[in-house]
Chain A
Amino acid sequence: MSGRRWLPWAVVLPIVGLDLFICVRNPGDLDRLLINMILALSAFVTLHAKLLSLANAGFMAIGAYASAIISIKLGLPIAVSIPAAVLLCAGVALVIGMPVLKLKDVYLAICTLGFGEMVRVLIILTPDLTGGSTGANLSTGFPYEAMKQTRTWMLGVLLALLAYLFWALSRSRIGRAFRALRENPQAASTMGIDIVAYRRFAFVLSAMIAGVAGAFYAHSVGSLDNGDFKFNRALDILSYAVLGGSGQWFGSILGGGFLTALPILLREVLGASVGFLKNFAQLPNIINGLALLLVVIFLPGGLASVFGAGRKRPGPAAAGPVRELPDPDKATAPSEAPLLVLEDVSRHFGGLEALGKVGFRMQEGLIYGLIGPNGAGKTTLINLVSGLFPPSSGRILWLGREIQQRPAHRIARAGIARTFQNIQLFREMTVLENVIVGRHTHIRTSLLSTLLRLPREGREERSARADALALLERLGLAELAGQRAGNLSYGDQRRVEIARALAMHPRLLLLDEPAAGMNEIETRKLGAFILELKKHGYTLLIVEHHMDLIMKICDEIVVLNFGRKIAQGTPAAVSRDEQVLEAYLGRD
Chain B
Amino acid sequence: MDLSLLSDPVFLLQNLIDGLSRGALYAVYAMGLTLIFGVLDIINLAHAATFMWCAITGWLVMAGLGLPLPAGLLAAMLAGACIALLLEYVAFRPLRREGSDRLSTMISSIGMSLIMVSIAEAVFGVETRRFPSSVLNPRPFHFGGLRISPAQILIVAASVVLMAALGYFIRRTRMGKAIRAIAANQKAARLLGIHVEAVIAVTFVTAGALAGAAGILVGLLTNNIVPDMGGQIQLRGLAVVILGGMGNMEGAVLGGLILGVIETFTIAYLPGGSDLKDAVVFLILFLILFVRPNGIMGRKSAERA
Query: Which residues of A pack against B, CB within 8 Å?
Result: 50, 52, 99, 102-107, 109-111, 113-115, 117-118, 121-122, 124-125, 230-232, 235, 238-239, 242, 280-282, 285-286, 288-294, 296-297, 300
Shortest C-beta distance, A243 to chain B (Å), equals 10
* Contact A107-B242, Cβ < 8 Å, known A288-B114, A289-B111: yes
Contact yes or no, B108 A121, CB < 8 A: no
Chain A residue nearest to B234 (CB atoms) is: A231
Q: How far is A216 from B286 in the complex, measured between Cα atoms in Å? A: 30
Shortest C-beta distance, A263 to chain B (Å), equals 11
Kindly identify which residue among B103, B108, B119 contacts A293, using a CB–CB cutoff of 8 Å. B108
Contact yes or no, B242 A296, CB < 8 A: no
B248 at the interface (CB under 8 A from A): no
Kindly identify which residue among B98, B101, B102, B108 contacts A292, using a CB–CB cutoff of 8 Å. B108
Contact yes or no, A286 B275, CB < 8 A: no
A-B contact pairs, 16 of them (CB 8 A): A105-B102, A109-B106, A110-B43, A110-B285, A118-B279, A124-B275, A125-B279, A285-B117, A289-B110, A289-B118, A290-B115, A292-B107, A293-B112, A293-B115, A296-B108, A296-B111
* Contact A235-B115, Cβ < 8 Å, known A114-B282, A282-B121: no
Contact yes or no, B286 A114, CB < 8 A: yes
Contact yes or no, A125 B275, CB < 8 A: yes
Shortest C-beta distance, A33 to chain B (Å), equals 20
Shortest C-beta distance, B189 to chain A (Å), equals 23
Query: Which residues of B pack against A, CB within 8 Å?
Result: 43, 90-91, 94-95, 98, 100-104, 106-108, 110-115, 117-119, 121-122, 231, 234-235, 238-239, 242, 272, 275-276, 278-279, 282, 285-286, 289-290, 293
Q: How far is A355 from B11 in the complex, measured between Cα atoms in Å? A: 59
Contact yes or no, A235 B110, CB < 8 A: yes
A-B contact count (CB 8 A): 120
* Contact A121-B114, Cβ < 8 Å, known A52-B106, A111-B286: no
Q: Which residues of chain A are near B272, meaning CB under 8 Å? A: 125
Chain B residue nearest to A118 (CB atoms) is: B282
Chain A residue nearest to B272 (CB atoms) is: A125
Q: How far is A114 from B90 in the complex, measured between Cα atoms in Å? A: 27
The 10 residue pairs across chains A and B that have the minimum distance between CB atoms: A292-B111, A289-B114, A293-B111, A289-B115, A282-B118, A285-B118, A114-B282, A289-B111, A296-B108, A282-B122
Q: Which residues of chain B are near A102, meaning CB under 8 Å? A: 293
Chain A residue nearest to B277 (CB atoms) is: A121
Shortest C-beta distance, A181 to chain B (Å), equals 15
Q: How far is A61 from B272 in the complex, measured between Cα atoms in Å? A: 23
Kindly identify which residue among B95, B103, B275 contacts A52, using a CB–CB cutoff of 8 Å. B103
Q: How far is A238 from B103 in the complex, measured between Cα atoms in Å? A: 12
Q: Which residues of chain A are near B285, meaning CB under 8 Å? A: 110-111, 114
Q: How far is A463 from B279 in the complex, measured between Cα atoms in Å? A: 54
In the complex, besides A104-B293, A286-B118, 12 extra interface pairs with C-beta distance below 8 angstroms are A52-B107, A106-B102, A107-B242, A114-B282, A115-B282, A118-B282, A124-B275, A125-B276, A282-B121, A289-B111, A289-B112, A292-B108
Q: How far is A235 from B101 in the complex, measured between Cα atoms in Å? A: 19
Most chain B CB within a 10 A radius of its CB, from A238, A289, A290: A289
Q: How far is A294 from B112 in the complex, measured between Cα atoms in Å? A: 10
Q: How far is A242 from B111 in the complex, measured between Cα atoms in Å? A: 11
Shortest C-beta distance, A392 to chain B (Å), equals 16
Kindly identify which residue among B91, B111, B231 contacts A231, using a CB–CB cutoff of 8 Å. B231
* Contact A286-B114, Cβ < 8 Å, known A292-B108, A293-B90, A297-B108: yes
Q: Which residues of chain B are near A232, meaning CB under 8 Å? A: 114
Contact yes or no, A292 B110, CB < 8 A: yes
Contact yes or no, A296 B107, CB < 8 A: yes
Q: Which residues of chain A are near B282, meaning CB under 8 Å? A: 114-115, 117-118, 121
Most chain B CB within a 10 A radius of its CB, from A52, A235, A288, A292: A292
Q: Which residues of chain A are near B121, meaning CB under 8 Å? A: 281-282
Q: How far is A239 from B113 in the complex, measured between Cα atoms in Å? A: 13
Q: How far is A425 from B275 in the complex, measured between Cα atoms in Å? A: 51
Most chain B CB within a 10 A radius of its CB, from A104, A121, A122, A124: A121
Contact yes or no, A103 B289, CB < 8 A: yes
* Contact A117-B278, Cβ < 8 Å, known A106-B102, A111-B286: yes
Q: How far is A232 from B114 in the complex, measured between Cα atoms in Å? A: 8
Shortest C-beta distance, B33 to chain A (Å), equals 11
Q: How far is A294 from B94 in the complex, measured between Cα atoms in Å? A: 10
Q: Which residues of chain B are near A300, meaning CB under 8 Å? A: 98, 100, 104
Chain A residue nearest to B278 (CB atoms) is: A121
Shortest C-beta distance, A241 to chain B (Å), equals 10
Q: Which residues of chain A are near B276, meaning CB under 8 Å? A: 121, 125
Shortest C-beta distance, B154 to chain A (Å), equals 30
Q: How far is A157 from B114 in the complex, measured between Cα atoms in Å? A: 33
Chain A residue nearest to B93 (CB atoms) is: A297
Kindly identify which residue among A106, A117, A239, A280 contacts B43, using a CB–CB cutoff of 8 Å. A106
Chain A residue nearest to B43 (CB atoms) is: A106
Contact yes or no, A293 B122, CB < 8 A: no
Chain A residue nearest to B290 (CB atoms) is: A99
Contact yes or no, A117 B235, CB < 8 A: yes
Shortest C-beta distance, B302 to chain A (Å), equals 9
Q: How far is A290 from B121 in the complex, measured between Cα atoms in Å? A: 16
Shortest C-beta distance, B109 to chain A (Å), equals 9
Q: How far is A316 from B293 in the complex, measured between Cα atoms in Å? A: 46
Most chain A CB within a 10 A radius of its CB, from B98, B110, B282, B290: B110
Contact yes or no, A107 B110, CB < 8 A: no
Q: How far is A111 from B290 in the complex, measured between Cα atoms in Å? A: 10
Q: Which residues of chain A are near B290, meaning CB under 8 Å? A: 99
Contact yes or no, B122 A280, CB < 8 A: yes
* Contact A110-B122, Cβ < 8 Å, known A103-B289, A289-B112, A296-B95: no
